[in-house]
Amino acid sequence: MGQYTIRRLLQMIPVVIGTTFLIFAAVWALPGDPFAGKCGDRPCPEAYVAEQTARYNLDDPLIVQYVKYMGNLLTGDLGDTFRGTRVIDELAVALPPTLKLTIIAITVEIVIGIIAGVLAGLRRGSFIDNLVLLSTLVVISIPIFVIGYLAQYIFGVQLGWFPPTVGTGAPWSDLILPGLVLASVSLAYVARLTRTQLAENMRADYVRTATAKGLPRSQVVRHGLRNSLIPVVTFIGIDFGALMGGAVVTEGIFNIKGIGGLVFSSIQTREGATVTAAITFIVIVFLIVNLLVDLLYGVLDPRIRYE
């Protein structure tokens, strides 16, 4: 397993390099004036434009700009914005709320989604099974912004169970409702996937053999569940990165100053250094989580070996 882990870590290097280049090229290669609107309603002075152009190497070919950017990145310098602030300072403010929001969403997705899927998978055709299938289908069919606004109005404004907006510093208690909203669609997919996999495995030959040998029902279900969770764990691993990068709608509804809003505003203002740094961080987190998921396969199924 050690050699497998090292090999996977080495494979991450070209992925990170390729991703940063694509994002860097997509942002900096956009047509238009990167200094438009930077000086208010009036055009920026020529001296300012010349100074900023030299500072950010905008006259260099794209590949030269990227090489210089990566050279600074390897030294821990994420660059500066056109406003003069350091990118690392902006990320330090935006990342914690998004990470906490994603952790809450993943936890809800795992706990509620898997429990609902197990209950439905073990009772196919029952009231619980039909309830899970119907409710998850409804959630999947509704756009996330509709779920967010309804949850905010009902549970935040009308009932007062949760704060309707997230306060300064994004405390964990304020992020519960946004986390539930962010997890809603993924939770529905996890429940349906768990239900399908478990129902299929419970009809497998090894389950019939275990039942015929007189093993307790709980032990038989545990064996079937371990095999059923492999595709579920794969989905959750992929979804972790998707939740981090796709939380912009939820963050906007609940006024969360997170990474989604930062990336969106930075794209609008063509802050290439900020966008590249934020996306690079999300990619690294995504790769690490997927490595942990691959290692978890061996725990769920001892037949899997890493060579």
Does 60 have pLDDT greater than 70?
yes
Structural domain including 27 reads: 1-307
Domain CATH code at residue 46: 1.10.3720.10
* Of the candidates 98, 57, 73, 36, the residue with the CA atom closest to the CA atom of residue 263: 98
Question: Phi, psi (5° rounding) for residue 86?
Answer: -80, 140
Q: What's the CA gap between 106 and 77, in Å, rounded?
A: 31
What is the C-alpha separation between 129 and 195, in angstroms, rounded? 9
CA distance 217 to 269: 59
Res. 131: pLDDT tops 60:
yes
pLDDT tens readout for residues 76-114: 777 777 777 788 888 888 888 888 888 999 999 999 999
- What's the rounded Cα separation, in Å, for the pair 161 and 163? 7
Confidence of residue 306 (pLDDT cuts 50, 70, 90): low
Of residues 73 and 152, which shows the higher confidence score?
152
Ramachandran assignment for 80, one of left (phi > 0), alpha (psi -120 to 50 degrees), beta (any other): beta
Residue 95, SS3 per DSSP: helix
Q: What percent of the chain has pLDDT over 90?
A: 6
Mean pLDDT of 255-276: 80
Per-residue pLDDT, 112: 92
Domain count, the chain: 1
CA distance 160 to 169: 20
Residue 278 corresponds to which tokens in the numbers above?
Answer: 């934020």
